[in-house]
Every structure is written in structure tokens, then in C-alpha cells.
Structure 1
Amino acid sequence: MSEVKKIATRESYGNALVELGKLHDDVVVLDADLAGATKTGMFKKAFPERFIDCGIAEGNMIGVAAGIATTGKVPFASTFAMFAAGRAFEQVRNSVGYPKNNVKIGATHAGISVGEDGATHQCNEDIALMRTIPGMVVISPADDVEARAAVFAAYEHQGPVYMRFGRLAVPVINDNPDYKFEIGKGIVLREGKDVTIVATGLEVSESLAAAEKLAADGIDAKVINIHTIKPIDEELIVAAAKETGKVVTVEEHSVIGGLGSAVCDVLSEKLPTPVLKIGVMDTFGESGPAVELIKKYGLDADSICEKVKAFVK
């Protein structure tokens, strides 16, 4: 069996920006002194005249991006999720969200898989924060293919977009000719009748692996990839809940305010259904190897499998 190809979605972001820049001369990329880590350095090398390093001043960078957007250009403002959603929240809300400026935010190093950088840099709250901003599109791609597609879709979308990318290399699962990315539309990756697993980001591949393990135990799990958390695919979620009767959400994010909360918002209103939320509980992370942290915080395939089994039985 050939080894599964893995790539970090932050790498995908950098590559996609270069491809986008070749096609559209209105694309401008901004960074906050992290071009090597966010991979926007690729764009800087290809288009130095369209790259702005704002230094360690994330709030100012968002303001600059908002100003650039008013000239008709399409700015991609890039930094770690902790700084984009956390430190610069006020500027994102008031300078991007409120005036509906056409700014795209590329937030890398999200979630517990930031690893050794520890709790201060492991942003498990960004989806919750960005969901609350009126009109903000929130995207959390599962792999390289999806991350690249998200960047192009963000460019085409008129209005603010927040994209969440990771540091850890993850399996490429969408490299098939039938793959289609559409903002606001979820993707059924596996059919099943006993339970629905709704996942986002790097947890999509872990959930698929968990579904295989569940099948060996006689549990038929449907797996849905929700790459767009806002606007969320309400129709698909309701249909799946109706079909299986139980829903499990899986995310590398706090269980408060993220994908799980978004799914519960939909189902509590349209089809009350038992839901199990798997994610980072009400706790901060810690420093350690990314793969070990994912396991310790119960976000690996084995842990997901055991939690789903207990929930279903």
C-alpha cells in the first residue's frame, strides 16, 4: 500500500496565493513579520511589489488591509490564528466586518496542533470569535486540495472571509476528479445509517479513519466534511440527522462556539437530535509534539471511535 501524501494547509495557502497572484494582479498579500511561518514568503518572492510586511502589529495590518480593500484591490492579511482572531479582533470587527470590506484573512497555526509553541499560541477559540462577526465567512479546510480551493473561492466571494490553516502536515483526502468546493456546502465523504460524524479541518481525516474502525465493530457511520462553518450547510446537516438519528461533531477547536455549537444551533431549531461534541474541552492546551497532543486531547481516530461507540450504544 502506498504511503498517503501529507501536506500542511499553511503550505497550501502559500502555494495558492502564488497561483492566484499569477491570475489576478489585484491580489495584495500582507503579513505581520511571519512570512516564513505563514508561507506568504512564497508570494513575496514572486510578487515583491504586491507584498506588505506590516511588522509585529497585527491590528494595524488589518486596518491597512481594510484601506487597500476600499481601492478595489483584494488583500489577503496573514498571521497566526491567535493574532488574527485574538489580538486583532477589534480591528477585524470594526474595520472589516462592520463596513463589509472585501478583506480575506489567512490565519495559520490554528488549534492544538501548533504543538510545541504551547497554550499561548494554540488558538482553539478563533472559529467561535469569527462566527460572531456579522457577514463573516468562516472556512476550515481539511487538506491541501481543499485549502487551495478555499483561497480561490475566497477571492471570488465579495466580502470578508476568515480561513483557518494548520501547521501539521495532514493526509490529502480530496484528490479526486469529482471534488468540488463551494462556500456553504458540506461534502458527504462516507455513507452510513447508524450515526453521522460531522467534522472540519484536520479532524476530517481522523473521522474517516474512525469510521473505518467503527465499521469493524458493526457501526455504520456517515461522515460529512463541513469546510465552511459559516454559512453552514443546514440542509445537509438536517437531512443527515433525520437519516441516522444521532450526530457527532469533531473539531480541533473548543467545543464552545465552534463547529459543534453551529451544528447544535441548526438542529435545536430545525430537528432536535442527540449530539455529541468532540473537541478541546473547556481547557487550554500545552506544549508538546502535535501528534501526541491530538491523542492526549482525544482528537485522534482511536479516541473518536471509542467516544462514538459509547454514544451510539
Structure 2
Amino acid sequence: MTMPNRIPKTKENYAIKALQIRSRAARELGYFSPFSMPPIAIVDHLIGRKATIAKNTWKQYKNALRSHFEDLANETKESVAVEELQAAIAALDAEPQTGSLKHGTRTSATKQKHFKRTDLEKFVDYLDGKLGRHKFANVLRTWLLAARLTGLRPSEWEHAGLTNIDSRPCLLVRNGKATNGRANGESRTLDLSKATTSDMEALREMLAMLEGYQREMSFERLQFLLTKYMNRATRACFGRRKKYPTLYSLRHQFAADAKMTGHTKAEVAAILGQATDETAGTHYARAVSGESSIRVAPVASEVQRVRAKARTFSPKPKGQAGNR
């Protein structure tokens, strides 16, 4: 069965991940080239690694390899090659998540969902000490402060801009994950009427910084380099600990703050650009992790677009508590 159409960037990411999977399999099994391995051998090797892979990562690996095999099958005219690729795809489809790890043991397991103000202030102070000594110290500092204010996904900054709507300052954002109904429309609007002067300066500095780097490198390259730098810098700043903040941690903290502020589930979903009111509650930090009110708001028309899926807990009548 052919999977739903994907945006070019997702296909590109899948292709990169599939090549990494092939290369590792070839290296560990002694093949001269990752492309000399039979597709089913690559699948078998990946399945053999499943016990060391978190379930979410396993799903990504399966999707990436499946997409890669589908592309190869569509490109070749050799019937034998097509049959081998289809057999590999069938083997992937037949392999469940059972046996993968509930939580990762490597990079993903060290990512913390929140980014408390004390940690953020400490890290910003650390970056201040690196100004003029590291190329990306001020860039990362600028990014963090803007992300803390808006809750954007890191990738969403590539297509974000300030404007005025009905005399109100707003940030227009092209929603990430906008394929297959996963986002609340192609874009979202963040009302900045309650933003402070320093907030607006932080946003303008962020957008100006991104525009300046367009002449030097792609947005994807800049994000990649900042992610690498933050990985090293957080460990230097915070020392030994189990989890460290990432660029995405600011979005989690923002979501927790939005919930704590008193916004409804639909309003939080609209602010985050999510299609349903369930995602923020299931995959993002909870309200108890919130620590300050947010100063951005959704627009009514986007709140109305959010699909209601979250279930509200209703206490059972007395005498039925033990029935399930």
C-alpha cells in the first residue's frame, strides 16, 4: 500500500535517514557499499537492532526505510529488483513496535521537555560570557529568547514574519507538520498585543538575524549548527545531569506556560498550530511545569478550526468507582 504524499522536506529527511540505516548495516555486516546489500538484509539488520531503539524512533526508521524502498521500486524497471524491494517493504509492514524500548537510551532520552526560567537565565548568562569568543553564542541566545516568547518549532522560524492586523502587532507563522491534516491550517497568527517592548525587540532581532544568515548558509544548516553548539554548551554550562534542554524544550515550556495561563485546550492548540486539542495534552509538558504567563494569544477564527478530541475526566457516581 502506498503511503500518503509527503512534503519534499519530509522525503528528503527520510532519504537521509534511510542512507544512514543502510550505511550502518553495511558497515556492521561487512559489505563494501551500502548499496550492495539486498533490501531484505537491511530490514533484517534493522529488526535486529529493535531492542535498542525507542518506539518513536523505530517508527521513524520504518517510515524512512519504507519510503526509500518505494522510491527505488518506482525508479527501477527490473522486475527482480522490484520484487526484492516489495518483499522488504512487506517485512517492514509486518514488524510491530513490540520489542522496542518504551524510552530511548541515547540522544532522545537526554532531552528534557521543560526549560525552567532558572535554567534559561543560567544558560543565557553562560552564552553572554561566550560573546565574541564563539560565533554562535549570540545567535543561540537570540534564538532562545524569541522561542521562549512564541513557542515556535525550531523549523518554523524559516517562514515567520511580523505584521499588523487591525492595528495589532502579530507574528505570522507557516505551520510545521501541515501535511495530512496534522496542523491547524497552513499558517497561524500569534497576537502580540500583550507583548512588551523588549519582547518585540527580541523578535525583530531574531528575524533580522535569520535574514542576515541567508547570504551565508541555508536555514537548515544554521539550525543544525545551533543544535550541535547547544548540545555542547548545555553540558559545559550545567555539568553532569540526566537530561539537558534543547531548542525544542522552549516549545514544551511555552506549552506548559500557556496551559498554566488559563487558556482553553483549543486556544493552546491554536497557539501551537495543532489540528486537535488533544496533542498538547498528550505530547507536551503539563500545566504543572508552567511558571509564567504567556504574552501571545491566538485569533478567534483559528481557535474555531481546532478539532475537539481531548476527553474531559468525569467522576463516576458513588458506588461505581470500582467498575471498569
**Same fold at TM > 0.5:** no
- The structure that is helix-richer by fraction is 2
Larger radius of gyration: 2
- The structure that is strand-richer by fraction is 1
TM-score, normalised on structure 1?
Answer: 0.30
